[in-house]
Amino acid sequence: MKLLIAIVQDEDASRLVSALMSEGYGVTKLATTGGFLRAGNTTLLIGVDDCKLDGAMSVIERVCKSRKQIATQPAQMSPGMANFTPFPVEVVVGGATVFQLNVEQFKKF
């Protein structure tokens, strides 16, 4: 058995949970924050049998696609500058970061 820890952007989380559950995977959803933009993301805990691992990974890959987004980054401030103007920066967001762990024992009460 494996435990997948999938960190996905909030925008993809609901679609991913729905897709995984419709294919019979159990999912626990945790609200988390982090990353470059300090934006909300979602961490999913997914327990899968070894024989269903490829299927779960395929669902994650299909739903969580990377995309480009414009973010505002503040300009570098110099000593004596009273004002600064933020400028737009194109960043890649979305996709998924997935950790795969071996599960030695699993019990459900």
The single-letter DSSP state of residue 24 is: T
Q: Are 12 and 94 in contact (CB under 8 A)?
A: yes
Q: Which amino acid is at 107?
A: K
Task: Give CA–CA dist 65/35, Å, rounded.
Answer: 17
| Domains of the chain and CATH, by start | 2-74+85-102 (3.30.70.120)
Task: Give CA–CA dist 7/15, Å, rounded.
Answer: 14
Task: Give CA–CA dist 14/31, Å, rounded.
Answer: 12
The single-letter DSSP state of residue 104 is: S
pTM value? 0.75
Using a pLDDT cut of 90, give the percent of the chain over it.
54
- pLDDT digits 0-9 by tens, 18-46: 999 999 999 999 988 776 556 678 999 99
